Amino acid sequence: MSSWRSWHRPLVVFSAAMAVLAVVSAIGLVVDDRVLVGAPIWAKPFKFSVSFVVYCLTLAWMLTLLTRGRRIGRWAGHVVVLTGLIEMVIITVQVVRGKRSHFNTATAFDSALWNAMGMTIVVLWVATLVIAVLLLRTRIADRATALAVRGGLLIALAGAALGFLMTLPSESRQAVDGLDAADTMGAHSVGVPDGGPSMPLTGWSTTGGDLRAPHFVGMHALQLIPLLLIALVLFAPRFAPLRDAGVRLRLVRVSVGGYAALVALITWQALRGQPLIHPDAITLAAAGAILTAVAYGTWRALRPTAPTHPTRDAADKEPVA
């Protein structure tokens, strides 16, 4: 594990700034009683700033793993910082103005800000893709670590790309938006208007599909899969099978496959206009199949591996005449 002093400094500094903004936003949630699209107006900058803290710190660590293309990776990190800063400035400015930052085309100024956000998020995604490609080409000694980093990055990229679905015109979503339809482009929810009944904390719809759920779950594979590997290493002294590098590799394989399947499932659920917390029988059956496959894969991963050629191994141990 590399020293944190070698981490990409601009990403670390930006993460610290986002932590400060998270505190400011949390105060705003307490002292500012304004509500926008059914949610406290400071909820969006709070969630985005917290997300950027963990996202950028993870990338700052991953960049230390590069053995080639370090200069390109460093510049990609700079791009992530710049685009993330632009996005957070726009979100905060719109909060101060009491306006929506996302999907808002009510005025020329609102539309310009929304278009700027769209461009910056595309550039941020491409910069992350560049880092992912560099890490795919990097030789990482521990195979479990390599898979956790690469699998987490690829799923995170897929999860981030799901955000683009929210910007697409949708006849069903525009129809339920009523009078606001002419002033918006895209929506979080599917089958119901944004701002309806929602889950606490996340704000995800409880009456229709919500594309923010797979977007969020997918993006945070970037942290959760490497954290799983760290947990396996920490528990290795207490659980003998985890001391085997091969077992850890197989468990990471299961986690990457299971996580990817989960993201696919909740994306399918959202696109069908189904709330995350109210799955139908088909969704439950698919979830059960994924859970069963993960459980079976985990059991197989923890089984001891028999010698490939036991008779040959025994013969090798016999004294030679």
pLDDT over 90 (residue 317): no
Closest CA to 62 of 6, 125, 126, 112: 6
Backbone angle region of 130, left / alpha / beta, with phi > 0 → left and psi within -120 to 50 → alpha: alpha
Q: Supply 102's token pair.
A: 């996302």
User: What pLDDT sits at residue 38?
Assistant: 80
Residues with Cβ within 8 Å of 68's Cβ and at least 6 positions away in sequence, in order, are 134, 137, 138
Residue 12: φ, ψ to 5° = -65, -45
Give the mean pLDDT of 273-278.
93
Strand partners, 209: 190
Q: Which CATH architecture has domain 1-139?
A: Up-down Bundle (1.20)
Domain segments of the chain as ranges: 1-139, 142-304
Cβ(147)–Cβ(120) under 8 Å?
no
CA distance 248 to 302: 9
HSE, CB side, 13 Å, CA atoms: give it for residue 260.
15
Other residues' Cβ atoms within 10 Å of the Cβ of residue 53:
19
User: What pLDDT sits at residue 55?
Assistant: 94
pLDDT over 80 (residue 121): yes
What DSSP letter does each residue of 132-158 carry, written as one string? Answer: HHHHHHS--SSHHHHHHHHHHHHHHHH
Residue 140: φ, ψ to 5° = -110, 120
pLDDT band at 103 (very low <50, low <70, confident <90, very high): confident
pLDDT in tens, 45-59: 999 999 999 999 999
Strand partners, 36: 39
Give the mean pLDDT of 129-135.
95
pTM listed for this prediction:
0.84
pLDDT band at 191 (very low <50, low <70, confident <90, very high): confident
HSE, CB side, 13 Å, CA atoms: give it for residue 47.
14
pLDDT over 60 (residue 72): yes
CA distance 268 to 79: 32
pLDDT band at 186 (very low <50, low <70, confident <90, very high): low
CA distance 266 to 275: 9
CA distance 216 to 71: 30
Instruction: Output Rg (C-alpha) for the chain, integer angstroms.
Output: 23
Exposed/middle/buried for 105, CB within 10 Å: 0-12, 13-18, 19+? middle
32-41, 193-202, 237-246, 264-273: range with lowest mean pLDDT: 193-202
Q: Supply 56's token pair.
A: 């950028």
Q: Supply 126's token pair.
A: 């491409």
